[in-house]
A and B are shown apart, each in its own frame.
Chain A
């Protein structure tokens, strides 16, 4: 089993863990965290796709994809947190 395959398998496992938590929890904040775990797994799969046999350099394209993916997840998480906070404020008016 190559290093890349181990990372890819770990990534898919992370996606599975994130998905499982996402469907089993009703708590909004936990759902957002579960999505972040799953997206970490997706990132790991992409990073594993960049692996090349040792003498050669790694493939930079998946790295660029992962960085874009991280930016997307950070911004969507921010939107989700803002919505959760808004709902929370509506529940407990100051």
Chain B
């Protein structure tokens, strides 16, 4: 226990877990507790990042039992980036949640329930995600995926509306099915190799038919959880009907958890056959098209943002098609940067969309240009996030897409280049719809001066959006950090 208390890897799991339990047991102080735990978590994640950047990859055998019998926690550059992303976005979203769910006189039971339930669910989600990014064992990954899934379903149904409950139930079934397929793969791996730790598997994994079957089952499960076309059916309704802070967490972080596991398995454990990599890439390309087209058709702002997640995740999956080629290192770097960029921009966008819907009283895109109250800062944050999602310089989205396209060019994959470019044009097209509505003033009749309302809860989306735009300026440092421990076959 003493070594656990001092080790940042253990702390990253223990602090949010104890925080979640305390927040559940003490609802009155839950909001404050969630902010406190979020800050502590960010401090530990930052300390770990410094340690990894200076000393090298960190490693901790829980209880002194090493792999293969015990459970190992480890952090390399990729884990650290994911942990930092979760810590920063989570903290800012908790601030918004604290403001959005604050007690008001004469509130109904549902509002009180949202305030009491958000902090423990979010902290449980943080526990699951932190453990996920630190795990080096496929069964442990299964358990963390399941913790993440349960917490996410709770967050998705927090608004308590009928649509949210239906979407949440569909999400739960899809997610549980994904976990079952993953567990089936774990069982097949164990029967083939007799061990479950990633490092041991990487050393052993001579291609066996059972291993291919295991990889297919696990990838199918992860595709379901990360909403890869055509397994995305649960995502738009679940993300669009949740409350704004919950949507931000689900879209920015939860989807990335499954994507992270897919990245690890693909690059470290298996040498996947070419047809499988190609299939994942093609599905990603289909997701770019389908998600964008649906976003172009969406009537509600939050639904548009949710469909955009399907398209953007598809673009990240395109990098899988370049694995094993000479362009793979650049493509993986691009994929990781796109994951970070999408997480930051999408969190900003969902929080801003929530504020806009709250101020306008609805989120129908066609009627937004008639809104008499315009939350200026939230509109501005949405616009900034748009820059990063489209991939204009100097945003992180730009650098990520650039690296992905460089990988495609090096490998001679012209078709993938076309997918990325066409996807960019489509992104600009569907995001122009809400922007046009924001910028159109001629239908507003009341004087504008007193209608630019802003609140404290505008600041987190604004901060996230600024981060998304400026993140490209520190892309070199980010890539240096990513290369530590050579995850994804990237040479330092």
Contacts and interface: CB of A to CB of B under 8 A. Distances in A.
Interface string A63-94: 00100110011011001100110110010000
A84 B176 CA distance: 15
Contacts of B446: none
Nearest to B147: A72
B179 A80 contact: no
B469 interface: no
A15 B187 contact: no
Nearest to B146: A72
Contact of A84 (B139, B162, B169): B169
Interface in A32-79: 32, 35, 38-39, 42, 45-46, 48-49, 59, 61-62, 65, 68-69, 72-73, 75-76, 79
Contacts of B187: 42, 45-46, 49, 62, 65
B180 A28 contact: no
Given A65-B139, A76-B146, A80-B172, A49 B166 contact: no
A87 B173 contact: no
A63 to B, nearest CB: 11
Contacts of A87: 162, 165-166, 169
B158 interface: no
Interface of A is mostly: helix
A46 B185 CA distance: 10
Contact of A15 (B143, B184, B190): B184
Interface string B113-156: 00000000000000000000000000100010010011001100
Interface string B178-202: 0110011011101100101000000
Contacts of B153: 79, 83
Contacts of B157: 83
B143 A72 contact: yes
A83 B169 contact: yes
A65 B191 contact: no
Contacts of B166: 87
Given A8-B191, A83-B165, A87-B166, A65 B186 contact: yes
Nearest to A22: B177
A35 to B, nearest CB: 6
A86 B190 contact: no
B165 A86 contact: yes
Contacts of B291: none
Interface size class of B (residues with CB under 8 A): 20 to 34
A59 B195 CA distance: 11
A15 to B, nearest CB: 6
A39 B180 CA distance: 6
B90 interface: no
Contacts of B177: 19, 22, 35, 38
A49 B169 CA distance: 32
A15 B180 contact: yes
B461 interface: no
A91 B476 CA distance: 55
Nearest to B162: A90
Nearest to B168: A83
B108 to A, nearest CB: 15
Contacts of B173: 22, 31-32, 35, 80
Nearest to A38: B180
Contact of A45 (B188, B194, B196): B188
Q: Which of A31, A62, A76 counts the most B-chain CB atoms under 10 A from its CB?
A: A76
Contacts of B183: 39, 42, 46, 69
A53 to B, nearest CB: 14
A45 B185 CA distance: 10
Given A15-B184, A45-B184, A49-B187, A76 B176 contact: yes
Contact of B143 (A42, A68, A86): A68
B180 A42 contact: yes
Given A32-B173, A49-B191, A79 B180 contact: no
Q: Which of B173, B180, B191, B194 counts the most A-chain CB atoms under 10 A from its CB?
A: B180
B184 A42 contact: yes
B169 A62 contact: no
26 contacts: A8-B191, A31-B173, A35-B177, A42-B183, A49-B188, A49-B190, A49-B191, A59-B194, A65-B139, A65-B190, A68-B143, A69-B183, A72-B143, A72-B179, A73-B176, A76-B146, A76-B150, A76-B176, A79-B154, A79-B172, A80-B172, A80-B173, A83-B172, A84-B169, A87-B165, A90-B165
Given A35-B176, A42-B187, 4 more contacts: A45-B184, A62-B190, A79-B150, A87-B169
